[in-house]
Structure 1
Amino acid sequence: MGQWQDFTTGERLKVLRGKMTQGGLAERSGLSLHTVQKAEQNGNVSLPTLLRLAEALHSDVAVILGQQAPRRGMSPDDRAMLRELSRTVHDTAAGVLHDPAEGAAPGPADLAEAAARMWRVYWRGAYTDAGVLVAPFLRSVALFAQATPAGQEAAANALLSDAYRAAGLIANFLGARDLAYAAIGHAIRYAELAADPVRVSMLGSARARVLLRDARVEQALREAEAAAARTEPTFSEQGSSLLAAYGKNIIFAAVAASRLGDSARAADLLSQAHAVAARLGRDVYTNGLQFGPSYADAQAVGVNVSLGNAGRALEISRRFDPSGLTQAAHNRMLLDVALAQCDVRQWDTSLDTLLEVCSSHPEWSRHQAIPGVIIQRAGHASTSRIRKLSAILGTSPTVR
């Protein structure tokens, strides 16, 4: 059997479909038989179609596009980091702690500094590097929590929630869905023990992110909306952090609604998110969360792409200053811009935008599904650009 990335998208779909008929896949995915047949014949396949196919096949878009092999498509460094992260998450959750080899356990100031460093790396989109930091941070926080006097556990529980949330987000990005669900579950528990409304609210969008990546779009929408509803009655009294967490939940609900093709609901949620962002007046960065005017506009680009409003998406991308975005958020917006350019048949411009982000951040790009979508659809454009992109992403070029 050849390398997974050497197969065509259609061949990969056939392998993943197994004994299921094309008609069965159409029924399970809610797509027409013609659409399934076209996908297996390597016709143009939209991102919403790929999401439906991934959900029906219990797979991932990146697997269908050949960016990841089934179950594992990671580099050795990714695998080593994820193995250590998984062991740490499960050990600490089970109370299996190991004393430091030397010296005293870190104090609150050291842990706060380590958390800030971890989130800075995460915001750059260097998820493997961030994961390397999360494991020792989580172990140190667990030891700190163990030594915390009774009645003073809130600060330790808040830090534990942050560490588990970071582990869950990184695991989700790398496709380790079971670990992502487990880590986010632990994060929710400790946020509730800390009685911290900001962290509890943040975890609504975090769990929605995992559900979206798992193609459980309707559940992601319900999760984000429910988390926002729990926060809404009190957010005005709690300051910018809770308001930002509330806005993040609203924007994730809008993303989920757009993936479901519900344009009216997505537009209403986007409007609410922009109102929250306007109230903040600036982008807020707190404990690994970003929300504000720049973030709302960047997400509006992606929402409009999902709804098929490529022209509107490009208009939004031209009118706002992305300098307030984290590097990871800016990278993702550029992918959405490239996809919108592809949708309006600006093939070479789309590939230029894609090259911009993939060349600057190749490790981040290799774990994204959108580059594969664009390369597949723009296969009749610049051959040299496609070959460059394929070399960066570690996939076989698709040239028509």
Structure 2
Amino acid sequence: MKWNEHTTGQRIKLLRGALTQEELAEGAGLSVATVRKAEQGRGQVSLPSLLRLAHALGTDVSVIVGQQAPRRAMLADDRLTLRALSRTVHDTAAGIGTEREPVEFAADLVAGWDAYRAGRVGVAGQFATSCVRDAATALANAPEDRRMAAHGTLADAFRLSAYVANQLGARDLAYAAIGHAADQARQGGDPRREASVASGRSWIYLRDARLDDAEHTATLSYTSIEPSYGDRDPLLLATYGWHVTFAAVVAARQGNPTTADDLLSQGSAVAARLGRDVMVNGTAFGPASVTAQAIGIAVSTGKAGKALQLAAGLHDSSALHQAARNRLQLDIALAQCDTKQYDTCLDTLLTVCTEHPEWVRHQTLPGVIAQRAGHATTSRSRKIAKIIGATLA
């Protein structure tokens, strides 16, 4: 039987192996009753509980819901992209492959980030592969007065590689690439870039269910660049606002709603001070992005009604890049599911899946939402299951 043909409960039991239910419950910080309910398929298992089970089982939530096999099955093109990216990241970090003539690659790095933010992860990985190699070559040939800038550019290429690897489920490569990005950012001497790398590491921790590490690192990312009261530089304010708002997301996932609300208030204050969405490294921060994150936080803290109210008030999300808009729609779908609007939820989810299938394939949340609402409309559920590659049982 294929992995995605098992029920979620069967997959948890298979992953548990020799562990007892009591041992799994202790490792996940859950009750034995919750583990038993999950394995027997009785009722719905919350996303925080799935994250804790994934962490205790040493796997990804997408494996538990059947979207990916335990060895992280993926399309052939993604597998080839990942293999090339891994080889380049590791070789470049070892100083291999830079003995050649430098080439112009700035436009490719921009294109790589644009592809990533548009949800085209495979394309972003192809750009990242060439940009890491080309940025390392540029650094090796840079005159002394250009070396710090070259370190910064290589940090950006490594960070893009880390993000692609994280989306593709290659956690070891993601950790390696973000580590190389941190080293290059330090040598580049740019605190804002270092904060971005720290925030990226926090996101990797978050997807790996290392919630304590995610929260600690997210805190470092925004406190290291906290502006003074008199600072008016919009780029600095936007960078700080983005990182403090992301830290609010991490705190919410960690189960600290008070901390999340406090950090979100700080982000909202910065957004109000800016009065508009400001682009920072290709990502917008401002009123729209804060509201989008507030919706996600409301959902993860069990306030689905509040999330839908916030969504109704967000009339213009055009400042957000495509991947951020996709994630916003997933949060709205989850809120609709939590308020038992199952058909509406599936409509929202099916729209995202149909319009952006490549991005959806690398996300865990669509499978979770579809499983919880899948009994509402069989035809829509089947379409969603086909796109995301999961059995909704």
**TM-score w.r.t. length of structure 1:** 0.94
- Alpha-carbon deviations, 1:361-384, whole Å to 9, x = none? 111111111111122111320111
Paired residue type of 2:102: A
| Alignment pair present for 1:175 and 2:169 | yes
Can you give the 5+ residue segments of structure 1 that lack an aligned partner in the other structure? none
> What pairs with 1:330-341 in structure 2 (closer than 5 Å)?
330-341=325-336
SS at match of 1:48: helix
Paired residue type of 2:8: T
SS at match of 1:231: coil
Hey, what's the Cα distance between the residues in 1 that align with 2:230 and 2:320?
A: 24
Could you say which residue in structure 1 is the equivalent of 2:106?
112
Greater displacement, 254-263 / 78-87: 254-263
Paired residue type of 2:77: D
| Alignment pair present for 1:131 and 2:130 | no
Contact 1:259 1:306 in 2 (8 A): yes
User: 1:286–1:394: structure 2 CA closer, same or farther, 3 Å change rule?
Assistant: same
> What pairs with 1:220-235 in structure 2 (closer than 5 Å)?
220-233=214-227
Displacement of 1:235 in angstroms is: 8.8
Contact 1:366 1:393 in 2 (8 A): yes
Could you say which residue in structure 2 is the equivalent of 1:219?
213
User: 1:236–1:220: structure 2 CA closer, same or farther, 3 Å change rule?
Assistant: farther
Displacement of 1:99 in angstroms is: 4.8
User: 1:235–1:128: structure 2 CA closer, same or farther, 3 Å change rule?
Assistant: farther
Displacement of 1:292 in angstroms is: 2.1
Percent of counterpart pairs with the same letter?
52
Could you say which residue in structure 2 is the equivalent of 1:85?
85
Number of aligned residue pairs: give it: 391
> What pairs with 1:284-303 in structure 2 (closer than 5 Å)?
284-303=278-297
Displacement of 1:280 in angstroms is: 2.5
Hey, what's the Cα distance between the residues in 1 that align with 2:56 and 2:230?
A: 41
Displacement of 1:150 in angstroms is: 2.0
User: 1:238–1:208: structure 2 CA closer, same or farther, 3 Å change rule?
Assistant: farther
Hey, what's the Cα distance between the residues in 2 that align with 1:233 and 1:239?
A: 9
> What pairs with 1:252-267 in structure 2 (closer than 5 Å)?
252-267=246-261
| Alignment pair present for 1:241 and 2:240 | no
Displacement of 1:279 in angstroms is: 2.1
| Alignment pair present for 1:151 and 2:148 | no
Paired residue type of 1:199: R
SS at match of 1:152: helix
SS at match of 1:285: strand
**TM-score w.r.t. length of structure 2:** 0.96
Hey, what's the Cα distance between the residues in 2 that align with 1:194 and 1:235?
A: 27
Displacement of 1:201 in angstroms is: 1.3
Displacement of 1:288 in angstroms is: 4.4
Displacement of 1:236 in angstroms is: 5.8
Hey, what's the Cα distance between the residues in 2 that align with 1:263 and 1:379?
A: 29
| Alignment pair present for 1:39 and 2:46 | no
Could you say which residue in structure 2 is the equivalent of 1:140?
134
- Alpha-carbon deviations, 1:161-218, whole Å to 9, x = none? 1000000011111111111111111111111111112101111211110000000112
Paired residue type of 2:255: G
Hey, what's the Cα distance between the residues in 2 that align with 1:397 and 1:171?
A: 26
> What pairs with 1:57-96 in structure 2 (closer than 5 Å)?
57-96=57-96
- Alpha-carbon deviations, 1:334-376, whole Å to 9, x = none? 0010000000000000000000100001111111111111221
Contact 1:198 1:241 in 2 (8 A): no
Contact 1:204 1:249 in 2 (8 A): no
Hey, what's the Cα distance between the residues in 2 that align with 1:94 and 1:367?
A: 29
- Alpha-carbon deviations, 1:48-70, whole Å to 9, x = none? 11111111111111010011111
SS at match of 2:279: strand
Greater displacement, 261-270 / 237-246: 237-246
Displacement of 1:152 in angstroms is: 2.2
| Alignment pair present for 1:160 and 2:159 | no
Paired residue type of 1:105: P
> What pairs with 1:266-277 in structure 2 (closer than 5 Å)?
266-277=260-271
Could you say which residue in structure 2 is the equivalent of 1:357?
352
Could you say which residue in structure 2 is the equivalent of 1:194?
188
Displacement of 1:141 in angstroms is: 1.1
Could you say which residue in structure 1 is the equivalent of 2:51?
51
Paired residue type of 1:52: R
From 371, 375, 378, the equivalent of 1:380 is 375
Contact 1:301 1:336 in 2 (8 A): yes
Displacement of 1:80 in angstroms is: 0.5
Could you say which residue in structure 2 is the equivalent of 1:25?
24
| Alignment pair present for 1:322 and 2:317 | yes
Hey, what's the Cα distance between the residues in 2 that align with 1:131 and 1:238?
A: 36
Paired residue type of 1:360: E
Paired residue type of 2:46: S
Displacement of 1:238 in angstroms is: 7.5
User: 1:48–1:233: structure 2 CA closer, same or farther, 3 Å change rule?
Assistant: same
Hey, what's the Cα distance between the residues in 2 that align with 1:376 and 1:179?
A: 30
User: 1:155–1:201: structure 2 CA closer, same or farther, 3 Å change rule?
Assistant: same
Displacement of 1:9 in angstroms is: 0.3
Displacement of 1:263 in angstroms is: 1.4
